[in-house]
Amino acid sequence: MSKKGKIFVCGDTHGRPEDTKKLNGRNFPEQKELTKEDVLIQLGDFGWIWYEIGKNKEQEYWLDWLAEKNYSLAIVLGNHENYDIIEALPLVEKWGNTVHVLKRKNGEIYFFKRGAVYLINKRKILTIGGAESTDKEARIPHISWWEQEVLSHEETQNCLDEIDLHDNSFDYVLTHTCPAKYVSKFTNKRIKLNCFVARFLDHIDDTISCKKWHFGHFHQDKSVQRGKYNCHYNEAPFELK
């Protein structure tokens, strides 16, 4: 019988070395024993694709550093992402659906569609990226803020269609923000309480069943509702079992 690959999740990295250190050998020693069959899923605000590919030395270094890891790296998109670049990456078949892929010399990095279902190492996973930025008025469109951070009508409808195809039942739901009904447990910022994506996730939460729900966005490590809803940030990658 073949060994079932492992899946880990981790919080925001924001294109910053200090937030990405959670993935180094000291903080994530398990990676020494992993292979490309094992998957680390970063839960949005990845941020290491911020500048045009090939134009920023620090970004190039960290993209190579991440792509050459023993495991496969996949990204749930957040609100602080350069959507123009990511959406222009080629689409490939992966884990029973399609993903955008960034090809590097020594590996690849994958970006999940928003509102899509993937079968990863025998687990059925629903991924829904995006969130509304609280500081978007201070940002510059298509330079430091992208309107695509909020799901389009087409994306929400495709998500609902995929959920129906999978009988509304999943092992895990992986998102960037969380359902609106739980946002107040992580922040008192009203824009996050009124975030369109969070309100859409309320509907999803009422519609589906899942074992656990994991997300980032709120820059803390905290679980609510008896450990069903889990926010990740500083902690080392967490294994889904």
Separation CA 13–CA 205 (nearest Å): 26
Angle at CA 38, nearest 5°, toward 168 and 164? Answer: 10
What's the half-sphere exposure (Cβ side, CA atoms, 13 Å) at 194?
4
pLDDT digits (tens, 9 = 90+) for 179-227: 999 999 998 766 566 899 999 999 999 999 999 999 999 999 999 999 9
- The answer to whether residue 1 scores a pLDDT higher than 60 is no
More confident residue, 238 or 188: 238
Number of C-beta neighbours around residue 91 at 10 A: 13
Look at residue 151 and tell me whether its pLDDT is greater than 50.
Answer: yes
> What is the C-alpha separation between 228 and 211, in angstroms, rounded?
7
pLDDT tens-digit series, residues 16-66: 999 999 999 999 999 999 999 999 999 999 999 999 999 999 999 999 999
Q: Max Cα separation, the chain? A: 54
pLDDT, tens only, 11-30: 999 999 999 999 999 999 99
CA distance 48 to 42: 12
What's the confidence (pLDDT) of residue 192?
63
What's the pLDDT at 62? 98
Whether 66 contacts 73, CB under 8 Å: yes
Q: What is the mean pLDDT of residues 112-125?
A: 97
- Classified as helix, coil or strand, 16 is coil
Quickly state the pLDDT bin for 2 (edges 50, 70, 90): low
Structure tokens at 237: 């990658």
Model pLDDT, residue 31: 98
Structure confidence by residue, pLDDT tens digits, 153-170:
999 999 999 999 999 999
CATH number of 7-240: 3.60.21
